[in-house]
Amino acid sequence: MTVEMRGEFPAQAAQWIMRARAATLTAAQVTRNVAQTSIRFIRGAALTSAYTIRDTSLFVRALHRSPAGVGAVLPSSAALAAAITQELHADSGPVLELGAGTGVFSRKMLKIGIPAQDLILIELDADLADNLRERFPDALVLCRDASRLYRAPVAQALHVRAAVCGLPLRNMPLRCKLGILRGVFEALETDGALYLFSYGLRCPIEARLLERLGLRARRIQVVYRNAPPARVWKITRRVAVFKR
């Protein structure tokens, strides 16, 4: 809503001016209309920025603490959030989110209609995890290393139906990726899928790792409206096997 207002403002102002030119409005009416539109625009922009300034500053501080751990210059865009959650719907929960960061994907999942109680958010950075708890009090937020999830009893107990990953996988060594995939696929229902993104052309999970774990990767979208542009991948089991 607030974002739309930003775009509408110049168009509306131009409309008022054109109508005034056509002498259908007095100068006073034009001034009043432009002022009213400006107030609505500034209010909308203030609301939007109050939200993003706090998230962006948290993100930048986390980036400063661990550049490789965050692995991105900006939080993911709304377009990337839409692309990575494109196959999810209100009944897709419970959903596991790895590297939830500022909660861009979590917010999108709530918008889709997945209840907050059905979100399990894993975030290693303590400040970002605290922020997630504040933002999503009904979600389960775990401040822990996603690559060690498989070691905790939590993974087997979760029974999630989908997983979304915002982790900087390209910066991670093979053994971490192995730990992440083991944890995720232990928690995932048989026909569940893991959605992740990469900034490179290739899937950030090496073919030999996919092969070893009996998984396959399929690219489902390229998102240009993200800095930098990203590719979204869907990882599934090759054969739907029984988990345990």
| Contact stretch for ligand SAM (CB under 6 A) within 24-32, 85-93, 96-104, 110-118 | 96-104
Question: Residue 100 and residue 127: Cα distance in Å, rounded?
Answer: 12
User: Is position 129 an interface residue for ligand SAM (rule: CB under 6 A)?
Assistant: no
Question: Residue 159 and residue 170: Cα distance in Å, rounded?
Answer: 27
Could you tell me the smallest distance in angstroms from the CB atom of residue 221 to ligand SAM?
16
Could you tell me the smallest distance in angstroms from the CB atom of residue 217 to ligand SAM?
19
Question: Residue 174 and residue 151: Cα distance in Å, rounded?
Answer: 17
Map tokens 């107990």 to a residue.
Answer: 157
Could you tell me the smallest distance in angstroms from the CB atom of residue 139 to ligand SAM?
14
Q: What is the token pair recorded at 177?
A: 């990726």
Question: Residue 201 and residue 219: Cα distance in Å, rounded?
Answer: 10
Nearer to ligand SAM, 146 or 193 (CB): 146
Per-residue binding string, ligand SAM, 43-82, x by CB under 6 A, is -------------------x------xxxx--xx------
User: Is position 83 an interface residue for ligand SAM (rule: CB under 6 A)?
Assistant: no
Contact with ligand SAM (CB under 6 A): which of 58, 83, 88, 122? Answer: 122
Nearer to ligand SAM, 145 or 206 (CB): 145
User: Is position 105 an interface residue for ligand SAM (rule: CB under 6 A)?
Assistant: yes
Could you tell me the smallest distance in angstroms from the CB atom of residue 102 to ligand SAM?
4
Angle between helices 27-65 and 2-21 (to 10 degrees): 150
Number of residues that bind ligand SAM (CB under 6 A): 24
Contact with ligand SAM (CB under 6 A): which of 146, 169, 178, 223? Answer: 146
Question: Given the DSSP bridges, would you call strands 160-165 and 188-198 parallel, antiparallel or unpaired?
Answer: parallel
User: Is position 124 an interface residue for ligand SAM (rule: CB under 6 A)?
Assistant: yes
Contact with ligand SAM (CB under 6 A): which of 110, 120, 128, 205? Answer: 128
Question: Residue 65 and residue 63: Cα distance in Å, rounded?
Answer: 5
Q: In the window 164-203, what residues touch ligand SAM (CB under 6 A)?
A: 166-168
Contact with ligand SAM (CB under 6 A): which of 44, 93, 99, 192? Answer: 99
Q: Which long-range contacts (CB under 8 A, 24 or more apart) does 38-47 make?
A: 38/9, 38/13, 40/5, 41/5, 41/6, 41/8, 41/9, 44/1, 44/2, 44/3, 44/5, 44/6, 45/2, 45/5, 45/6, 47/2
Could you give the strand order of the β-sheet that contains 119-122, starting from the edge strand earlier in sequence? 140-142, 119-122, 95-98, 160-165, 188-198, 230-237, 215-223
Question: Residue 34 and residue 183: Cα distance in Å, rounded?
Answer: 56
What are the residues binding ligand SAM (CB under 6 A)? 62, 69-72, 75-76, 98-99, 101-102, 104-105, 122-125, 128, 145-147, 166-168
